[in-house]
């Protein structure tokens, strides 16, 4: 094996270089602790001072044949760009089947990810997943208006369901999904990735521990300039609504998660630019207020018509917490401010990113393996849907809408994931 290096010939096999022999270095394994239990991480030797930011434990993937097998339904942007690559970071989940309306696309994806030809299904053949023993869970990544049907049919086919947000188009659909999964004795989780993500989890912890005293206000925004009026996101039957159920939902769901409380009243305003072809059926912009039992007031905005902004700020007695950006897949930033004597101490918390989709899928897999209630079950999606319907109603009626009082904390969530 020869390679030209800056005009010199280097013989890799014999380690000969025109300037003389290259020394051979001994190949060794540095000391490492290797626990017999495969779920415990291998501990490598220390290379950073204890005072430096540490790497965290090495991953502990389950053996391939023990992981939960997923069928992905819908091969659009989210599936191709985020979910499929995320399986590489999963420790308890693997992709084993696909459902799509495009045989060419599906065949290509199956080849890329090593999925068996016989585990690729058209929408017409969806119910045949029942006979595929490799599949324990179905991840529904279809337009919102199709979530209810595919959840119900998937549960009836004997599979557990992870469904993308928003859960569905209406409270009635959400309830039907919960009922169908209960009847089939299958688990249902809504893919609220933010509730499994370390930055937002840290905000929740700071708020719950009252690190900056009592929270008074939260201001949240999630908006983007969307295009292509022909896309299903601008079709009411397929999308359910416009910016509110698609991106505004992040503000609503994250605030509920951070506070662990439920709003008692909402006031909403809806606006769409007249004659904009995108907003013939669904709304462009929603601004809304929420009142919580603890006295926290939240002010939220969402839009399909302004430049990308995804952020929120928690304002408390003695400090503030800022997440900007708060909701993208990577690059989240958490900053806090607190006065220290004559100084205003502003801290940027440098938290390592975790793949949001791998984390949420592994949580669902853990729930199936250990028979636990998912942290974000169907009831969590139903509650968001109830609140969104109240926001629309308030905007239509021009007055605040009261919501059913919920006093229990984390009323609709399952067991909190360990890490
Ligand atoms: P997309 O348009 O890129 O993909 C949708 C897929 O559904 C496509 O493969 C399309 O072929 C298929 N489909 C089947 N029947 C269809 C029909 N009648 N009309 C249109 N498409 C049809 O959409 P996406 O961005 O991947 O979103 C899919 C789901 O994922 C939505 O519910 C969305 O809210 C959710 N989503 C979640 C996140 C998140 O961060 N959790 C991000 C983006 C999207």
**pLDDT band with cut points at 50, 70 and 90 for residue 4:** very low
Q: Is 74 in the pocket of ligand 1 (CB under 6 A)?
A: yes
Q: Is 151 helix (H, G, I), strand (E, B) or coil?
A: helix
Q: Is 400 in the pocket of ligand 1 (CB under 6 A)?
A: no
**Dist. CA 74 → ligand 1 center (Å):** 7
pLDDT above 70 (res 226): yes
pLDDT computed for residue 14 by the predictor: 63
For 226-283, give the DSSP string: ---TTSGGG-HHHHSSSHIIIIIHHHHHHHHHHHT---SEEEEEEE--TT-GGGSSS-
Q: Is 310 in the pocket of ligand 1 (CB under 6 A)?
A: no
Summarised one tens digit per residue, pLDDT across range 243-258 is: 999 999 999 999 999 9
- C-alpha–C-alpha distance, residues 188 and 59, integer Å: 26
Rg of the chain in Å (alpha carbons)? 25
**pLDDT band with cut points at 50, 70 and 90 for residue 130:** very high
Atom index in ligand 1 nearest the CA of residue 232 equals 20
**Dist. CA 33 → ligand 1 center (Å):** 44
Edge to edge, the sheet with strand 2-5 lists 2-5, 8-11, 16-17, 20-21
pLDDT above 80 (res 30): yes
- C-alpha–C-alpha distance, residues 349 and 261, integer Å: 25
pLDDT computed for residue 2 by the predictor: 44
pLDDT computed for residue 3 by the predictor: 43
| Look-up of token digits 């010939």 | 9
- C-alpha–C-alpha distance, residues 94 and 69, integer Å: 5
Q: Is 76 in the pocket of ligand 1 (CB under 6 A)?
A: yes
Which residue has its alpha carbon closest to ligand 1 atom 8?
A: 76
Q: Is 142 in the pocket of ligand 1 (CB under 6 A)?
A: yes
Q: Is 322 in the pocket of ligand 1 (CB under 6 A)?
A: no
* Structure letter (DSSP) for residue 417: P
**Dist. CA 230 → ligand 1 center (Å):** 14
Of the candidate ranges 9-13, 157-161, 222-226, 322-326, the one whose mean pLDDT is the lowest? 9-13
For 38-61, give the DSSP string: TTSPPEEPP-S-TTSPP--PPP-P
Q: Which residues pair with 32 in a beta bridge?
A: 44
CA–CA distance from 43 to each of 55, 90, 91, 240 (Å)?
11, 19, 17, 49
Summarised one tens digit per residue, pLDDT across range 274-292 is: 999 999 999 999 999 999 9
More confident of the two residues 3 and 119: 119
pLDDT computed for residue 354 by the predictor: 95
Atom index in ligand 1 nearest the CA of residue 80 equals 26
Q: Are 353 and 330 in contact (CB under 8 A)?
A: yes
Phi, psi of 301 (to 5 degrees): -145, 145
**Dist. CA 243 → ligand 1 center (Å):** 15
pLDDT above 50 (res 160): yes
Determine the residue of 85, 139, 141, 249 to mutate for testing ligand 1's pocket, defined as the one with the most ligand atoms within 8 A of the Cβ atom.
141
* Structure letter (DSSP) for residue 1: -
Summarised one tens digit per residue, pLDDT across range 94-126 is: 999 999 999 999 999 999 999 999 999 999 999
**pLDDT band with cut points at 50, 70 and 90 for residue 10:** low
* Mean pLDDT of the 173-195 span: 98
Q: Is 176 helix (H, G, I), strand (E, B) or coil?
A: helix
Helix (H) or strand (E) holding 206: helix 198-208
* Mean pLDDT of the 145-151 span: 98
**Dist. CA 103 → ligand 1 center (Å):** 17
Atom index in ligand 1 nearest the CA of residue 145 equals 32
pLDDT computed for residue 1 by the predictor: 40
Q: Is 348 helix (H, G, I), strand (E, B) or coil?
A: strand
Q: Could you give the residue numbers annotated as active site?
A: 165, 250
Atom index in ligand 1 nearest the CA of residue 357 equals 41
- Share the mean pLDDT of the chain: 95
Q: Which residues pair with 220 in a beta bridge?
A: 300, 312
- C-alpha–C-alpha distance, residues 260 and 201, integer Å: 12
Q: Is 171 in the pocket of ligand 1 (CB under 6 A)?
A: no
Q: Is 164 helix (H, G, I), strand (E, B) or coil?
A: coil
pLDDT computed for residue 296 by the predictor: 98
- Global pTM value: 0.94
Q: Which residues pair with 401 in a beta bridge?
A: 266
Cβ atoms < 10 Å from Cβ of 121: 20
- C-alpha–C-alpha distance, residues 398 and 377, integer Å: 32
pLDDT computed for residue 5 by the predictor: 45
Cβ atoms < 10 Å from Cβ of 91: 16
């Amino acid at each position: 094996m020869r390679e030209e290096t800056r005009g010199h010939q280097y013989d890799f096999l014999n380690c000969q270089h025109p300037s003389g022999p290259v020394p051979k270095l001994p190949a060794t394994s540095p000391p490492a602790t290797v626990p017999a239990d495969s779920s415990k991480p291998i501990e490598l030797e220390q290379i950073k001072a204890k005072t430096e930011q540490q790497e965290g434990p090495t991953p502990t993937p389950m053996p391939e044949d023990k992981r939960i097998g997923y069928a992905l339904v819908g091969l659009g942007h989210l599936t191709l760009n985020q979910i499929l690559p995320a399986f590489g970071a999963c420790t308890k989940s693997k992709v084993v089947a696909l459902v799509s309306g495009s045989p060419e696309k599906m065949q290509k994806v199956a080849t890329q990810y090593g999925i068996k030809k016989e585990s690729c299904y058209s929408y017409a053949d969806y119910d045949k997943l029942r006979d595929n023993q490799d599949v324990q869970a179905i991840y529904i990544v279809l337009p919102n208006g199709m979530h209810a049907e595919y959840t119900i049919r998937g549960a009836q086919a004997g599979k557990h369901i992870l469904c993308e947000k928003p859960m569905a188009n209406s409270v009635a659909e959400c309830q039907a999904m919960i009922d169908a999964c209960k009847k089939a004795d299958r688990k249902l989780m809504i893919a609220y990735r933010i509730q499994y993500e370390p930055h937002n989890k840290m905000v929740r912890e700071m708020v719950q521990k009252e690190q900056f005293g009592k929270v008074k206000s939260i201001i949240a925004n999630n908006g983007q300039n969307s295009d292509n009026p022909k896309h299903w996101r601008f079709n009411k039957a397929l999308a359910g609504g416009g910016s509110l159920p698609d991106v505004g939902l992040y503000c609503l769901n994250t605030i509920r998660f951070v506070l662990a409380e439920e709003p008692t009243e909402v006031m909403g305003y809806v606006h769409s630019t007249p004659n904009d072809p995108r907003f013939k059926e669904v709304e462009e912009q929603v601004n809304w207020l929420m009142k919580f039992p603890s006295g926290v007031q939240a002010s939220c905005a969402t839009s399909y018509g302004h430049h990308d902004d995804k952020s929120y700020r928690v304002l408390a007695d003695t400090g503030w917490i800022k997440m900007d950006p708060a909701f993208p897949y990577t690059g989240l930033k958490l900053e806090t401010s607190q006065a220290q004597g004559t100084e205003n101490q502003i801290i940027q918390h440098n938290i390592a990113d975790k793949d949001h989709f791998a984390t949420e899928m592994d949580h669902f897999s853990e729930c199936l393996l250990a028979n636990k209630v998912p942290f974000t079950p169907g009831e969590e999606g139903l509650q968001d849907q109830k609140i969104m319907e109240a926001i629309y109603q308030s905007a239509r009626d021009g007055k605040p809408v009261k919501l059913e009082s919920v006093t229990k904390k984390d009323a609709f969530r399952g067991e909190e994931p360990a890490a």
